[in-house]
Structure 1
């Protein structure tokens, strides 16, 4: 199976101008005329691709192989529906078609001040535009000088063109990314104590359209390096009602004996759409720790793809989704591929759905033939706080190796353990207060895994506020 970073890509991959450059006069008509097969892209996909390509006319040539491959892919890609695409069987993304798509103004984005950060190394994207970078080992792709860091980034982006598991949203980002923020940690360097804070702020347009942004981040942790990443997606200036479409991609390469600690918080507007790809490649004896907390957005789809490419590889995943609004959809699709001996992985997914929220979890762990002595665990636990809330879970272990220790489990409940409630009541605490405390502890279990106190504290406070408001409805 191809990985996004395991292969190299020759510059001969560049496509004919009529395929790659959608915006050229008559190019789109020529592409349509050349298509004779019935399974082709629909007009909406091509229209968005044209808009995205027009917006990045002056991009880095290092992105050309990736753009070319995604342009070719989109020509034969249809818009996914619940009936036509198994990966979207439980996920209704029609909200993305409900409003006209527009693109952010780069001048306006650059004019906005970057939010303050408690950490010296930080990156800021405003509506998908990379506006600032600060700190050591952090740079925009366009600003990387010739040298090892630039060469590694170029090779990783070219190899990303070969990513076999990508979808429509990954390709949109590849075409629409104006620049790439690069975090390059050299061999043996540790940045574990002071994380790189990556802030994604979104504002929308206010004109009735859905502003689509495509920020992209590449993290390179060389042999023996350590780095912590704190990724935050939030709204600015709309007081919770901004309408926009965030479509980010983050790719992380963890080389031999390296360690990456990755915290990801999504707290966007309840009128926003958020479709995200996180792609991880782990080499021998590397470790990747991931904590996700998603509490915002009307439509939230996260594709998490991890491939272990060496023995003694350790992957730790924790995710918590909270749906507090009507018609809110949160979807986590994860795929973990183990190809080598003595791999270790643990995945915990938790969610709380209230009102008419719909939560989806599709977790796939594939233990291939040579991944002997693997220890892999997967657990999903969900709470339904409303009779109209819905949860679809699909934990999936595919085991081909015969010397493994693998477990998985799923639990969906509409109420807490009566013994736990009785414990509170026996101490004079009423049942509503007891249920609130248990609901908070259910989510805090994952939020407390965020290793950086300012981020953990703010996220806990926002979760507590949303939990209180959802219980009042």
Structure 2
């Protein structure tokens, strides 16, 4: 079960004295469980991509504080969409991610929900650490009645586009226009509001900022669609934690195209937590774009469990010396689910550090996990220390993972590691439990349940961490039934 083929590790001039002797390369690629299906690179069912864009834009576009104040950015995005099309599996970036189930749907305006229903949805997702620093976004628009920013210190701006600093407003779309694809451009063209986190130079924001995105769903023919955004701007030496949590109100379908942009000035630190727990029929397409100046630190922790199709494009640029980037990802994929992570980290300056760990479980025969991780160490990035590891667990016949780790090294004075593993549980792990008198089924369940908790544990907020643990247990079902529940029932 541990075999894998077809990955990329493009290494040029790696010095012999690298950690572990050299740049360690382990090929990624396609893995099929016994009886599994082949990974086709052919095209998706034919649909009218241009017609979908043309029909979707006016359907989901509305007025708002962001759209009214930045008609130029919206106009530029609309113009760009004229030359863009919805990607198919013939496009390399979407080779394993068929978005035709989205395109075949007719988008609609979100139905909304009663105030009491929304209040209950917020109450069900508490975060004590963010009391007084919580923004609630309903169908892409900041809800002032549900938002509580009473603990935000003077000089820091957290909130929607209305009242945001002009210099921050001017930066909306700065990264997504350069780095995003058609869905990010669709977001720019249709977004009505955005969440802003602006931390001045030298300010350390003690509390996390919790952004709770609630999307109302529908079981009718039309699929509600929204375009929420967020922008974080941290001054020199500033520090903050941004926690983005995505959930749905109702069990129907919803399309979320979301964009988060982050600008980190020299020596700034941003801890970014991203949790997606949307309803099973939903579609979730997210772009996270980050620019890091010298000596800045960006930590990204991602947990994705919900949705029918869920994809994040994570694009990071290190723009100065001694910059640090840490990425942790856990995706859990069941029946009729596709979870995709495309990440790209570009290092151009000396003494940069990068550390990426990706974990994926596919436990449904019709589930698919996709990882395409590109770490690019360019000529100027001498003395870089970079590591990338993807581990994938297949628990059902025909379950599929496409793992494409890609470490490109042009610099010749680096310490880099690179690895990929795709398998079922290892016999050695099971033997360890059985040698101590633990039943094999119980051992398997404990190992499966704990596989992704290394990443989940990096979420510092206890309530959110427990929500993730409960979602893992619910998704795994019988595969984790023997694992003792926590006090919260997780």
Unaligned runs of 5+ in 1: 1-39, 145-149
Q: Of the candidates 100, 106, 114, which is equivalent to residue 100 of structure 1?
A: 106
Structure-to-structure mapping, 1:360-379, within 5 angstroms:
360-379=370-389
Q: Of the candidates 97, 105, 115, which is equivalent to residue 122 of structure 2?
A: 115
Structure-to-structure mapping, 1:322-337, within 5 angstroms:
322-324=332-334, 326-337=335-346
For residue 151 of structure 1, what is the aligned residue in structure 2?
166
Unaligned runs of 5+ in 2: 1-47, 482-490
Q: Of the candidates 218, 224, 227, which is equivalent to residue 240 of structure 2?
A: 227
Q: What CA RMSD, in Å, does the superposition of the two structures yield over aligned residues? A: 2.1
Structure-to-structure mapping, 1:262-411, within 5 angstroms:
262-324=272-334, 326-355=335-364, 356-411=366-421
Q: Of the candidates 428, 431, 448, which is equivalent to residue 419 of structure 1?
A: 428
Provide the C-alpha distance between the structure 1 equivalents of 2:168 and 2:260, rounded to a whole number of angstroms. Answer: 13
For residue 67 of structure 1, what is the aligned residue in structure 2?
74
Q: CA deviation at 1:221?
A: 1.2
The superposition leaves residues 79-124 of structure 1 with CA deviations (integer Å, 9 ceiling, x where unpaired) of 21102x1100011111102321102257968994371332220111
The superposition leaves residues 310-356 of structure 1 with CA deviations (integer Å, 9 ceiling, x where unpaired) of 111000000000012x2210000001111111110000000000112
Q: CA deviation at 1:471?
A: 6.4
Q: CA deviation at 1:58?
A: 6.9
Is 1:179 the counterpart of 2:193? The answer is: yes
Q: Of the candidates 105, 121, 138, which is equivalent to residue 126 of structure 1?
A: 138
Structure-to-structure mapping, 1:159-198, within 5 angstroms:
159-160=174-175, 162-163=177-178, 165-191=179-205, 193-198=206-211
Provide the C-alpha distance between the structure 2 equivalents of 1:429 and 1:111, rounded to a whole number of angstroms. Answer: 45
Distance 1:353 1:257, change over 3 A: same
Partner of 1:142: helix, strand, or coil?
A: coil
Is 1:252 the counterpart of 2:266? The answer is: no
Q: Which structure: greater helix fraction?
A: 1
The superposition leaves residues 340-384 of structure 1 with CA deviations (integer Å, 9 ceiling, x where unpaired) of 111100000000001121000000111122111111110000000
Which stretch shows the higher mean deviation, 58-67 or 361-370? 58-67
Normalised by the size of structure 1, how large is the TM-score? Answer: 0.84
Q: CA deviation at 1:205?
A: 2.6
Normalised by the size of structure 2, how large is the TM-score? Answer: 0.81
* Number of corresponding residues: 419
Q: Of the candidates 27, 50, 63, which is equivalent to residue 56 of structure 1?
A: 63
Partner of 2:162: helix, strand, or coil?
A: helix
For residue 4 of structure 1, what is the aligned residue in structure 2?
none
| Deviation >6 Å, runs of 4+ | 106-111
For residue 11 of structure 2, what is the aligned residue in structure 1?
none
> Contact 1:307 / 1:336 at 8 angstroms: preserved in 2?
yes
> Contact 2:313 / 2:341 at 8 angstroms: preserved in 1?
yes
> Contact 2:199 / 2:234 at 8 angstroms: preserved in 1?
yes
Larger relative contact order (Cα-Cα within 8 Å, sequence gap ≥ 6):
2
